[in-house]
Amino acid sequence: MDAMFRGSGVAIVTPFREGNIDWDAFARLIEFQIDNGTDCIVALGTTGESATLTHEEKTAVARFVISEVAGRVPVMVGAGSNSTAVAVESSKEMQDLGADSLLHVTPYYNKATQGGLLAHYTTIADAVEIPIVTYNVPSRTSTNLLPATLAELSEHPRIRGHKEACGDLPQIMELFRLCRGKLAIWSGNDDHVYPMLALGGDGVISVAAHIIPQQMHDMVQLFLEGKTVAARTIQEAANPLIAHLFTEVNPIPVKAALSMMGLCEDELRLPLTPMTQDSRNVLRRAMTQYGLI
């Protein structure tokens, strides 16, 4: 349960230089996050462009992040797949490398039924000994992991957390009604952190934390300390900037932002392409207004 953090976890990008993983930039990003209060490093998620990494690269990224973090904060590693068998093998490998927990997005493209999702996650959880975190993001996967299904999954001793990014308030409220106290629940949307904390959430797995890590950490910490007005003020101030991080498909804008801050190159892998110049100009103005550059 030590892996089930309360606070702000960053869904960290995978930095590239000339087509290869930029390990120097990766180390710089990790240190920047830990120095500025981030409570968990989440590697090999959507923001980390895991879909375009080879198996060997995924292994190398997980090994590097776990080694670089060196136990200072928990490391959650994405091991999801739309093949249950592949997800099981990936989970075993990441566990053996030293991951503290495993993030599993709902199977994409297959469009599993709720019964299929129940079997998928149960099979994975049965195969490992570390906590599993489920991840619901229907806008990307075309599959919606419903609260009733999560309530069943929460009975498994290794399914201990959930990242929610459905954006549907009634569904989120039902999730908390059924699963509050049974699962750690994090917002998967940076603009919904405060509302989900108010419902009983444990924080956020964040994209915005790449560029405002201290603020994202502080928002959660202040709320947990009962300083709810101060937490709400951070959310309200950050929301315009957060909106600019999603004007194009994530992680296109955040990599542009990180490059403006000198933390890594603005390089992605196809089919993702760099941010358009008009959007980049708007993002730069927002970051200047926020005091980041």
- 28-50 per-position pLDDT tens digit: 999 999 999 999 999 999 999 99
Per-residue 3-state assignment (H helix, E strand, C coil) for 66-115: HHHHCCCCCEEEECCCCCHHHHHHHHHHHHHHCCCEEEEECCCCCCCCHH
> Across residues 15-36, what is the average pLDDT?
98
> Across residues 257-261, what is the average pLDDT?
98
CATH number at residue 136: 3.20.20.70
Question: Do the annotations mark residue 205 as ligand-binding?
Answer: yes
Active site residue 121: no
Residue 262 lies in a domain: no
Residue 45 lies in a domain: yes
Confidence of residue 162 (pLDDT cuts 50, 70, 90): very high
Residue 207 lies in a domain: yes
Residue 67 lies in a domain: yes
Residue 239 lies in a domain: no
Question: Do the annotations mark residue 34 as ligand-binding?
Answer: no
| More reliable by pLDDT, 83 or 2 | 83
Residue 146 lies in a domain: yes
Q: Return the percentage of the chain with pLDDT > 70, whole number.
A: 99
From CA 285, how far away is CA 83, in angstroms rounded?
A: 42
Mean pLDDT in the chain? 97
* Nearest alpha-carbon partner for 206 in 1, 63, 6, 11: 11
In a 10 Å sphere around its CB, with 0-12 CB exposed, 13-18 middle and 19+ buried, how is residue 146 labelled? Answer: middle
The pLDDT assigned to 2 comes to: 56
Active site residue 109: no
Domain count, the chain: 1
Whether the pLDDT of residue 3 is over 70: the answer is: no
The pLDDT assigned to 4 comes to: 85
> Across residues 216-240, what is the average pLDDT?
98
- For residues 77 and 43, is the Cβ–Cβ distance under 8 A? yes
> Across residues 270-289, what is the average pLDDT?
97
> Across residues 216-235, what is the average pLDDT?
98
Which listed residue (163, 182, 255, 290) is catalytic?
163
Which listed residue (58, 121, 135, 255) is catalytic?
135
Residue 56 lies in a domain: yes
Please write down the long-range contacts of 194-201, taking CB distance under 8 Å and 24 or more positions apart. Answer: 194/219, 194/223, 194/231, 194/232, 194/235, 195/169, 196/164, 196/172, 197/223, 197/224, 197/231, 198/223, 198/228, 199/172, 199/173, 200/176, 201/176
Whether the pLDDT of residue 1 is over 50: the answer is: no
Domain that holds residue 155: 7-225
Residue 61 lies in a domain: yes
